[in-house]
C-alpha cells in the first residue's frame, strides 16, 4: 500500500505539517489542501487513493464537500473525517453523510496512520458485485437484480438502495436520505422520499430484506 496518494484537507498548518511528516515517513505521498477549493482541484487532478477531511474548513463545511463527492458515481474514494466535534450525534451524522471513518481531535498520529491503512485495505477488497441473499447489486453496471432478474430501479431508487446497503441494520434519518439522493434539503413535505421508498419496498418484496421505519429514528434496511 506504500506510495498510495493521500489528500489531506486541513486548515491548521501545524496539524497539517505533523500529518505530512508522519505519512511521508510511512511511505505515502501526501497532497495538502488548506481550503475546500484547493481540495476540489486536487481531487480532480491528482486522483487520490484516500481523503483525510477536516469538517470545519474556512470556506465551507467538509460534510457538504463530501456530499458533492458522493453524488459523483465515478468518485469512490474512502474518506476519513477529522473533527473537534466529538459528540455521538456529530460522529453518527458524519458517518451517515458518507464518511468511512471518523477520528476526533486531538488524536495520536499513530492512530491516524492505522485508520488510513485500514481504510486502504478495505477499499482494495471492495467487490464489484454485492450479494444479499437473492438480491444482487452490480456496482460497475449500477444494476440491482432479484433472482437474476433486473429490479428496473430508477436512479433515485438505486441510490436509496445503495445507501441502505452501506448502512444496513442502522437507522438513517429521512432528512439525510433526502439530502443525499435529491441533493437538496428536505422541506416539510417528504412525499417524494416516501413514494420512492414505497416503490423500492415493493420491488424488494420477498428478497429477504425489508425497509422499516421507526418514529424519531428514521429508516432501516434489515434482514427478515
Burial status of residue 55 (CB atoms within 10 A of its CB: 0-12, 13-18, 19 or more): buried
Q: Is residue 45 domain-shared with residue 156, that is, in the same domain?
A: no
Q: Is residue 134 domain-shared with residue 116, that is, in the same domain?
A: no
Q: Is residue 117 domain-shared with residue 137, that is, in the same domain?
A: no
Which residues does 196 contact at the CB level (< 8 Å), separation at least 6?
Answer: 154, 156, 157, 160, 181
Q: How far apart are CA 183 and CA 218, in angstroms?
A: 18
Tens of pLDDT, residue by residue over 74-90, are 567 899 999 988 888 88
Tell me the sheet residues that pair with 132.
135
Categorize the per-residue pLDDT at 158 as very low, low, confident or very high, splitting at 50, 70 and 90.
very high
Domain containing 82 equals 5-124
Give the CATH number, domain containing residue 112: 3.40.50.2300
pTM for the whole structure: 0.59
Last residue within a domain, chosen from 84, 109, 124 = 124
Q: Is residue 156 domain-shared with residue 137, that is, in the same domain?
A: yes
Tens of pLDDT, residue by residue over 4-22, are 899 999 999 999 999 999 9
Last residue within a domain, chosen from 61, 95, 124 = 124
Residue 219 cell numbers, joined = 429508516
Q: Is residue 120 domain-shared with residue 170, that is, in the same domain?
A: no
Amino acid at each position: 500500500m506504500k506510495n498510495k496518494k493521500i489528500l489531506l484537507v486541513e486548515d491548521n498548518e501545524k496539524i497539517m505539517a505533523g500529518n505530512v511528516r508522519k505519512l511521508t515517513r510511512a511511505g505515502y505521498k501526501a497532497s495538502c489542501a488548506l481550503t475546500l477549493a484547493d481540495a476540489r482541484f486536487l481531487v480532480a487532478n491528482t486522483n487520490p487513493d484516500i481523503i483525510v477531511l477536516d469538517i470545519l474548513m474556512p470556506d465551507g463545511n467538509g460534510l457538504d464537500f463530501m456530499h458533492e463527492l458522493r453524488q459523483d458515481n465515478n468518485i469512490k474514494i474512502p474518506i476519513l473525517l477529522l473533527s473537534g466535534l466529538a459528540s455521538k450525534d456529530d460522529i453518527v451524522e458524519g458517518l451517515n453523510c458518507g464518511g468511512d471513518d471518523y477520528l476526533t481531535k486531538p488524536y495520536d498520529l499513530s492512530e491516524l496512520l492505522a485508520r488510513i491503512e485500514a481504510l486502504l485495505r478495505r477499499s482494495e477488497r471492495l467487490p464489484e458485485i454485492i450479494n444479499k441473499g437473492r438480491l444482487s447489486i452490480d456496482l460497475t453496471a449500477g444494476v440491482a437484480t432479484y433472482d437474476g432478474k433486473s429490479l428496473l430501479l430508477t436512479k433515485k431508487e438505486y441510490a436509496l438502495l445503495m445507501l441502505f446497503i452501506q448502512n444496513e441494520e442502522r437507522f438513517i434519518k429521512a432528512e439525510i436520505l433526502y439530502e443525499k439522493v435529491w441533493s437538496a434539503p428536505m422541506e416539510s413535505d417528504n412525499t417524494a422520499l416516501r413514494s420512492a421508498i414505497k416503490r423500492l419496498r415493493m420491488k424488494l418484496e420477498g428478497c429477504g430484506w425489508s425497509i422499516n421505519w421507526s418514529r424519531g429514528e428514521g429508516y432501516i434496511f434489515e434482514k427478515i
